[in-house]
Amino acid sequence: MRILIEENYEAMSKKAALMVAGQILLKPNSVLGLATGSTPLYMYRELVRMHREEDLDFSSITTFNLDEYVGLNQDNINSYHYYMFDNLFNHVNIKKENIFIPDGMAENLYEECKRYEKLIKDRGGIDLQILGIGKNGHIGFNEPDLKFEATTHVVELDDETIKANSRFFSSIDEVPRRAISMGIKTIMHSRKIILLASGEEKAEAVKKAIFGPIIPGLPASVLQLHPDVTIILDREAAMYVENIDNIQ
């Protein structure tokens, strides 16, 4: 595990974008696992800039998103489908047939989870997975639980997650209570993982994920077992690991 501490959110995001760009340059047909939320926004903006100004080529890239809300259609501005097209896909030369996002409107959610898992397998697995971390230590929508969910599944969102995500909605009552999420096993099968964390409110979860016991009650702690994880933090998120620049 490597821990990189950057001065601020912008520097953290640029470092992450450089690493993603490096993956694309080294393997132009890479399969990328992508996250949503506020944390990776600037990273996506930087990738768009690199495409426009430095000819970063997405034409052979395949992407799989970590999760999607149940009950929101693709045109809903709060869906992760809308988020990804608005912040990245509409601005780079990725092929639409290579974009995969769980269908939160599927009639049979169980079958949708199976379908999505098979798509990942059929594409050869994920080369590089981008993650954020919730204040309760969730990755994707894998909430603290008594067990690690293995593969893509439907999850009931915790009250803390609903409250945190309510800032994107008109009211907390509009936040969906369920989502489809890649499971811990799916995430851990990624060849490389980058986890991003910004802000003082993430510092406690980051500390526990890096130094705490590996328990389902803190889902991100399982990343301690992965052979190739890079955690990129800004100074605020790194307040409990301030003197650590690199952990192997």
Catalytic residues: 67, 136, 138, 143
Task: Dump strand ranges (E) for 165-218.
Answer: 178-181, 192-197
- CA dihedral (156, 162, 164, 168) in degrees, to 10, reads 120
Residue 190 is encoded by which pair of tokens? 């990624």
Residue 34 vs residues 7, 107, 146, 229: alpha-carbon distances, Å: 24, 24, 26, 15
Query: Could you say which DSSP state residue 191 is in?
Result: S
CB 231 within 8 A of CB 2: yes
Query: Could you say which DSSP state residue 106 is in?
Result: -
How many residues are there in the chain? 248
Q: Which helix (H) or strand (E) holds 207?
A: helix 203-211
Strands 178-181 and 67-69: antiparallel
